[in-house]
Structure 1
Amino acid sequence: MGFDPAPGYSLAERDRRWALARELMDAEGLAALIAYGEHECADLAPFAPDNYFTNDRPGSIVLFCRDADPIQLVWCNMPIQDHLEARKRGDHLWIEPHNIRAGSGFQAGKNAAGIVEVLREHGLERATVGVLGLDPYPPFHINPIMPYQLWREVLAELPGVTFKNVGLSFLFATVCLSAEEQAMVRYSATVGDAMAAAMLDAAAPGATEADLYAAGMAAAFRRGCAAPDMLLWSGPGFVAWGPPAWSYRPQAPRTLHEGDVVLAEVFNRFGMKETQHQVAIAVGEVHPDVEAAAALARECYEAGLKVARPGNSFGDLAEAMLAPLLANDSWNIHPMCHIMNPYGPVCGFGFGLKRLPEARQYPRLFELPTMGGELPLAPGMSFSFEPNAVVNGRAVNLGGTVLIGEEDPIELNPYTAQLLRA
């Protein structure tokens, strides 16, 4: 599988994003914008609006004050050391050295003291300031990401400031990807296919789940992508979904057998733009219910493609992908689709688990309705298409990343939109 050279961001992309920040400030009546970034090395669904504005090591706080260039607050010297060496190598950096400040504890840096210092320098003690970090960021940050202690100190030091949550406005402003951002998504998606192909090559009776996991991750790493994680289960039939049990419980990885199905969700990332790949592998002859579930999931996928066009809403998309399940008395173990880059609206799931006799032992089960259904679909949006169907207690998921085009949807991963056969 050949690969084009990895793309990069230009200063024009930086200027576009900084202009977007100031447009958001104008629209919301803000004198400043605070973008809080989750710590570096975060795995799934990282909350990294700081990186969106810096194109640099995530885990900082970025502040836009009036018309000034943004200030980046970091927690220690290590990000500065990286920045320094990158300048020596000739990398294209977005933040000037004099606008990066380090500090922790009582020294102003990536903390309350750093935020307060910057806002006071610009005379914003009684201004309205927007914040990215005070809204939930589903699916993995159901609660706001901002640290309680940090924010409590900011509020105590700046009682005259009106702080305003602007996470939803940021989502609307950034969810339609630029041409450069779409290039990152396309590259990541191509690498995701290579990961799936490597997993298929490794799938055979006697191999372990860990063998497949390692093969997929190695394929991404060799191509310069940061594949942060993988959900993976195997067996003759199941309705479980999540990371492999051996990744959090001390036990041996499961060994594959003839007749197993392997279901995985591969997360890949390049340029901080994510793609997702639903890998379903039949190891030899699988149970007829697995074949039926795969066919039904494929029907859901095709139904979604028919609706994934400008003029429709996310609710239309979710409803179309769920319709074949309802018509066939099936259900889904995880969302059929959700938006990415950034995360936002998500299709409902969980309504069918109560059908299983074993589920009666659990007093409270979770059902998520479709959220964000009113969002209109527009060119440049990126979605994870991950249709999944359960037939008699056996699930299959398949799919990949889809872009909304000017007219028709753009399938980036038709390879994984089918049941692969080892």
Structure 2
Amino acid sequence: MHPYRRFSLAERDRRWKAVRQRMAEENLAAIIAPPNPGNSTDWQADARYLSHCGGGADTSIGVVFPLEGEVTVVATSAQERWGPLVQDWVADVRTVNRQFGAAMGERLRELGLDGQRIGISGLVGGTRTPEGTIMHGTYEALVRAVPNASFVEAGELMQDVREVKSQEEIDVLQCSIDLVERALEAQLAAAQPGVPDYVVWAETMHAMFRRGSELSVHFNWISGDNPGRTLTRPTARPLREGDLILGEIEASVIGYRAQRLPVVAVNRCPPVIRDLSVIHGDMYAELLEVLRAGATVREAIAATVDITRRIAPRSGPLAGLKASLILHGRGLGDDRPLVLTKLGGDPFYGATERAMEAVFPEDGVYICKPAISTADGVFQFAWGDTVRVTARGARRMGRMPHGVQVSEPGSFTDWPTDVTVLSGGA
């Protein structure tokens, strides 16, 4: 077999048993996990979770997962890319020349499931996908293949199983956050005045990929003297002393992506950001104690706001600090919940409103990245790490210290100038 990192057959059996138990409870004869590599492959996480097939920035994988019978993977160049030289979970791997719906429908007919109740992952809304993720043509092909079947949403069933992580999954997520922290070390070395923003980003990403991270990974990035919300990619502006670099950084290990939201200051940190960082650290430590198994999303949001209000200075420029919470699942893809609130704690996204009473399970893994802001909203400090929920509270999986990190003054000149997107040539 090609030397990829893999999960064990015991991990496969654990997952399949848990999913099939839920399927029996909901009277599902099969689950369809359709191909959709969108959003950094988040939207076909269920297909990879069930099959151990997937990986790469543009790979489309579909899975037919029956309550009884052999699991089937449909893909392009399936045997070469996903056969026994790549994974040992699924033997029935079929090349379908991108006619995914027709091929999955044919498999349903082989299983004799016309007229049965069949779940589709992504038929309707998910945490970030209120309109679903299955392609219209794929769905139509399934309906034509088994016109008497009853199709229902299976995304929540899969989330129920996926939210609690096994030790193998936690170990892989730990490797992911370790890669991210090596990337942050590279970022600190490159973050010098005069270095283009995109060069520092490239050094950050390179440090992960040269250690084995997969594509695709999610990232956001921005730099400036008071940059605010992150952008979707770096700019060409040269950094200046005192700039801040904010980014959401992920590494991918077998598709599992831990995340960090670091704050890096170029050679010196503005005093107000330093002071906000200290207060944020005190709030963060208390918040992790609240994030114990059995706590609800509503309680986590309230704690973020209440702790910040209690520990904020009573006078001076930092009096009346406001707080918000961003928290979402970490794992193979678009893991629940998705907690997004405004400063003051009000949710502003439908998936957050639906999740207010959701309970954090033991061994759930999340990126927890609250923000605090001055009362006038001019200055904000957001920072986050991937955390694992235990019975006694959440535990950070990263090892770097909390708070703003300041790059030491130095020299960094190692970037190409012969051809750039700005010049269009030499």
> Do both share a fold (TM > 0.5)?
yes
**Alignment correspondent of 2:74:** 73
Distance 1:137 1:265, change over 3 A: same
Corresponding letter in the other structure for 1:103: V
Alpha-carbon distance, 1:135 to partner = 3.1
CA distance in structure 1 between the partners assigned to 2:391 and 2:87 by the alignment: 31
| Separation in structure 1 between the aligned mates of residue 4 and residue 372 of structure 2, nearest angstrom | 35
Distance verdict in 2 for CA 1:397–1:82, change over 3 Å: same
Residue of structure 2 in register with 1:294 after alignment = 277
Where does residue 93 of structure 1 map in the other structure? Answer: 88
Q: Among residues 34, 37, 55, which one is paired with 1:36 in the alignment?
A: 34
Give the 3 Å change call, closer, same or farther, for CA 29–70 of structure 1 in structure 2.
same
Residue type of the partner of 1:232? Answer: W
Alignment RMSD: 2.6
**Shift in alpha-carbon separation, 1:367–1:83, aligned structure 2, 3 A:** closer
1:50 to 21, 37, 47: 47
1:280–1:418 contact (8 Å) kept in structure 2? yes
2:398 is equivalent to residue 417 of structure 1: no
Instruction: Tell me: CA distance 1:254–1:326, structure 2 relative to 1, closer, same or farther (3 Å).
Output: farther
Aligned residues of 1:386 and 1:399 also touching (Cα < 8 A): yes
Identity score, percent: 21
Deviation digits for residues 109-133 of structure 1 (CA, Å, limit 9, x no counterpart):
412x112211111221111111112
Tell me the residue number matched to 1:22. Answer: 20
Please state whether the residue corresponding to 1:404 is helix, strand or coil: strand
Corresponding residue of 1:191: 179
State the Cα distance separating 1:242 from its structure 2 match: 2.8
Quick check: 1:232–1:244 contact (8 Å CA) kept in 2? yes
Q: Distance in 1 between matches of 2:234 and 2:23?
A: 45
Match of 2:82 in 1: 83
CA distance in 1 between counterparts of 2:231 and 2:44 reads: 20
Q: What is the match of residue 255 of structure 1?
A: 238
Q: Is the contact made by 1:398 and 1:416 (CA closer than 8 Å) also made in structure 2?
A: no
**1:226 offset after TM fit, Å?**
2.2
Within the candidate set 77, 96, 102, 2:95 is matched to: 102
Please tell me the residue identity of whatever aligns with 2:63.
Answer: V
After TM superposition, give the deviation of residue 229 of structure 1 in Å: 3.5
- Secondary structure of the residue aligned to 1:146 is coil
- Please name the residue that 1:394 is paired with: 379
In structure 1, what is the equivalent of residue 330 of structure 2?
A: 340
Q: What CA distance in whole angstroms lies between the structure 1 residues aligned with 2:203 and 2:62?
A: 36
- The structural deviation recorded for 1:175 is 0.6
Residues 1:389 and 1:316: Cα distance change in structure 2 (over 3 Å): same
Is 1:375 aligned to residue 358 of structure 2?
A: yes
Q: Which deviates more from structure 2 when the two are superposed, residues 287-296 or residues 202-211? A: 287-296
Q: Which moved more, 1:225-234 or 1:120-129?
A: 225-234
TM-score, L = length of structure 2: 0.83
SS of the aligned residue for 2:63 comes to: strand
* Structure 1, gaps ≥5 residues long: 247-252, 353-365
For 2:219 and 2:42, locate their aligned partners in 1 and report how far apart those are by CA, in whole Å. Answer: 12
Alignment check: 8 A CA contact 1:260 1:283 kept: yes
Which of these residues, 138, 141, 151, is aligned with residue 139 of structure 2?
151
What is the aligned partner in structure 2 of residue 136 from structure 1?
125
Residues 6/326 of structure 1: CA separation in 2 closer, same or farther (3 Å cut):
farther
Query: How many residue pairs align between the two structures?
Result: 385
Going from structure 1 to structure 2, the CA distance change for 1:315 and 1:44 (only over 3 Å counts) comes to farther
Q: Which one-letter code corresponds to 2:266 in the other structure? A: V
In structure 2, do the counterparts of structure 1 residues 71 and 149 end up closer, same or farther at CA, with 3 Å as the change threshold?
Answer: same
Whole-angstrom distance in 1 between the partners of 2:326 and 2:303: 10
Distance in 2, Cα, partners of 1:378 & 1:46: 23
Match of 1:203 in 2: 191
Rounded Cα–Cα distance in structure 1 between residues aligned with 2:290 and 2:239: 37
Task: Specify the code of the residue in structure 2 equivalent to 1:38.
Answer: N
Structure 2 unaligned spans of 5+: 313-319, 408-426
Q: Distance in 2 between matches of 1:44 and 1:81?
A: 20
Shift of 1:414: 4.2
- Residues 198-218 of structure 1, C-alpha deviations (whole Å, 9 max, x = no match): 111111111122122111111
Instruction: Report the Cα offset of residue 336 of structure 1.
Output: 2.7
Residues in 2 aligned to 1:11 and 1:304: alpha-carbon distance in whole angstroms: 37
Residues 172-251 of structure 1: matches in 2 within 5 Å? 172-226=160-214, 228-244=217-233, 246=235
2:198, 2:234 within 8 Å by CA — same for their partners in 1?
no
Amino acid at match of 1:93: D
With normalisation by structure 1, the TM-score equals: 0.83
Contact 1:400 1:414 in 2 (8 A): no
Q: Is the 8 A contact 1:300 1:322 kept in 2?
A: no
